Structure 1
């Protein structure tokens, strides 16, 4: 996103945090309603353009949003979306993209309130790896000729009763409303959102064999010291790593043995 949209999204994130700090606001309901608004704006492109039209005042755009949403969604959702359309947006698409992000964030707030955010993060990572390693499953979930209902039923058969309800909810939405995004990109975005709930970075650790608890703790502490932030470790096992370890943080990929990487981290810290 460019300047105006970045500022508008930053403001919307603050609005969401202020709303969800109030425990009387049902975060799960807020998420579902925001997702419905996203779908509406995706369908009604002309409406999205009107709500981001710089020729109209922010107040006029907000009043239009209130008329459209009032009685159809709850007060918190109407308040949040009305506040968003008051802002200036570089592109009309940025508005719907931002509302979608807030929908997923609200679901993660629900998990965090229940003390289950770590579980949701881990389940999202594991399921993304299952999909990546199973071409038939990935094909079924991305088949444009398959109905959303069929995909939802497949996901519920795989996740229902086995995964956290928040995990199931966001995965169903991600598959049912891809919005032109690959499944892998969607899971990556969800992972980053989950990490940001506690201002953490996500490191994907791939090793030939499962790391011991001591190795996980040492690696996590060393990476946190290096990057100056708490690091959430997503652990993956791939025998082709041949006894070494690969660390991926964002676009940075570091290859080497565990001992070599820890030595490098120690050298950075000493320098």
Structure 2
């Protein structure tokens, strides 16, 4: 059994049985819900000392982290010398006992991306970043994940190989190609459903929530500077499966609202 002692430890198999998600699903949920992370790089001019910094994050459809960073930043200069990075995704906000909450440490290599889809997905998650994303010193970097360390509360610790954490490219292509159409359709024709997702299922306040992205694990929502994450019950890989899941979530929200009003 894995005792959580290091990245070389064998992962502890924990299949997704019943209603309890497995470690890979749990880790992706923490990562996708976060809109920022702590980035650790090896400081190039200080003997390789770990250098932590705050970065905004988005996740690709396969769950690879995406960063928009400037060539003028120390962490970017460090990455150009040594691409190995660590990212801490913190899911403990608002808990009375933070150490009882979930967090994920991701180890991988940051690579500059020329894929325009990565830029689109990042800016959909962080609309305000469009104010500086076009500056010549800014670029999108994708983190090629090698492993992840999930701490999901006291005693719930797992190392997850990158191949187990990420979805494979052929599985995600269909949904990725339809993402823009689905998001536009939901916002233009089913704004009431999006509002139910945010206010009833997620308990968020305010009106005018918008869908900003959809991926195999769920969908992203935003209202002004606030973001929210709605998880699917199981991964979806095409538009029809996504439609069924979104319809089921509307039904769930209406049942919940009815029980509240009763």
Alignment TM-score, normalising by the size of structure 2: 0.25
Higher strand share: 2
Higher helix share: 1
